[in-house]
Amino acid sequence: MMKTQREIMTSGKPYQQFDTELIERRVFIREQLAKWNSYPDNDKRNNGLKSLLGDVGENFFVESNFKFDYGWNIHIGDYFYGNYDMTFLDTCPITIGEHCYFGPNVGLYTPIHPLDPRQRNADVEMGAPITIGNSCWFGGRVTVLPGVTLGNNVVVGAGSVVTKSFGDNVVIAGNPARVIKKVALSNDTNLTNQE
């Protein structure tokens, strides 16, 4: 059976970005984002944005100017918060676990452009998925590159560029991001006793 360009794109293989279905979807998404991002009412804005995504948990809150290409390939778990001006380029799947919190200007980028200029000039484009575990916290202006997987309880320092995958329970920061410490897990969830 012949695969659509959408299926080829989502699988990470080279695809034709000027395919009619893909162009129509990008235009539709731009129109919808212009509409829903302009709503000052939080419930209307978030319900409208949720309707454009592949799947998303019930407790979902993003500030205005959330941007993405297709929405089809964005999968977000329950209890998600995203601050202003997030950009998710979802050529390939972007999967985010539960209880994740993103600062402003976070960018998740799945597209890959060839190093060979002749291929770039021929509009060859492909991608690699991004997967983020549960209970992750990203500071402002974090950039995550194609193919990255982050485990559970990962904290990413503001301004970091994440170029490779990391496991659970680490704080990473820098450009390129590297482990700067381990996350110490506590059994005490009572915040009033925290220093």
Question: Active-site residue 75, yes or no?
Answer: no
pTM above 0.75, yes or no: yes
pLDDT of residue 159: 98
Using only the alpha carbons of the chain, give its radius of gyration: 18
For the chain, what percent of residues have pLDDT higher than 90?
A: 89
pLDDT at 26: 98
pLDDT score of 154? 98
- pLDDT reported for residue 193: 45
The pLDDT, as a whole number, for residue 191 is: 56
**Which of 119, 155, 163 shows the shortest CA–CA distance to 139?**
155
CB hemisphere CA count around 10 (13 angstroms): 15
- The low-confidence residues of the chain, meaning pLDDT below 50, are 193-195
Q: Residues 26, 75, 113, 178: which is the catalytic one?
A: 113
Give strand ranges (E) for 146-195: 149-150, 155-156, 161-162, 170-174, 177-182
pLDDT of the residue at 188: 66
Q: What is the pLDDT of residue 89?
A: 98
